[in-house]
Amino acid sequence: MSRLGSPWNRPVLNFAGLPVAYFAFPVDLAATPGDIAGLLLTLAGLGLIGWTMVTELGHLRRDEASRSPQAMAMLLVLLVMCFSLTFYLLELASPGQIAELHTRVDALYFTLATMATVGYGDVHAEGQVARALVCVVIAFDVVVVASLVRGYTMRRAADR
């Protein structure tokens, strides 16, 4: 298959585009209705991504056709970017919720450390809202993401 027709072309372009969108997203929060609406839209986007992944997990459990590994990889990157942006916006809206989170890179680092369950401790949730959100990320990661990876691994092994 030619390089242009590779099934990884679109995911690779999205992997490049998502961080650009993440770092370019305007975040000047002044607690205006528009800023609050933006935060709610971010949370709604996270919910949509979560729903898509849970739906995919249902397809795997019923042994139905599922999305390609490339599409799932794109969803995972999008999920990381959405959680990172949510943590960053939360810290801007309510300073002190997450200790030592000052930049978008800090938020990305915190999200990846949380999702990988390594939790280095330098950036950590202190406020109740942040802790609740971290609980959601961890539960989602353990239940949905781990199940999707397991399902794809088992399916691939069965296809061999």
CA angle, corner 30, sides to 78 and 82, nearest 5?
A: 5
Average pLDDT, the chain: 77
Which pair of structure tokens corresponds to residue 141? Answer: 């990661």
DSSP designation for 4: T
| pLDDT the model gives residue 4 | 46
Please list the residues that pair with 99 across neighbouring strands: 124
Q: How distant, in Å, are the alpha carbons of 7, 33, 91, 94 from that of 28? A: 38, 12, 12, 13
The CA distance from 27 to 48, in Å, is 21
Scored b (16 or more CB within 10 A) or e, 82-104 reads bbbbbbbbbbbbeeebbeebeeb
For the chain, give every domain's residue range: 9-22+33-159
pLDDT value at 43 more than 50: yes
Residues 116-145 pLDDT 10s: 888 888 999 999 999 999 999 998 888 877
CA angle, corner 55, sides to 82 and 14, nearest 5?
A: 40
CATH of 9-22+33-159, one of 2.30.40.10, 3.40.50.620, 1.10.287.70, 3.40.190.10: 1.10.287.70
Residues 62-95 pLDDT 10s: 766 555 676 677 778 888 888 999 999 899 889 9
| Closest to 126 measured CA to CA, from 84, 102, 98 | 98
| pLDDT the model gives residue 53 | 66
pLDDT value at 2 more than 50: no
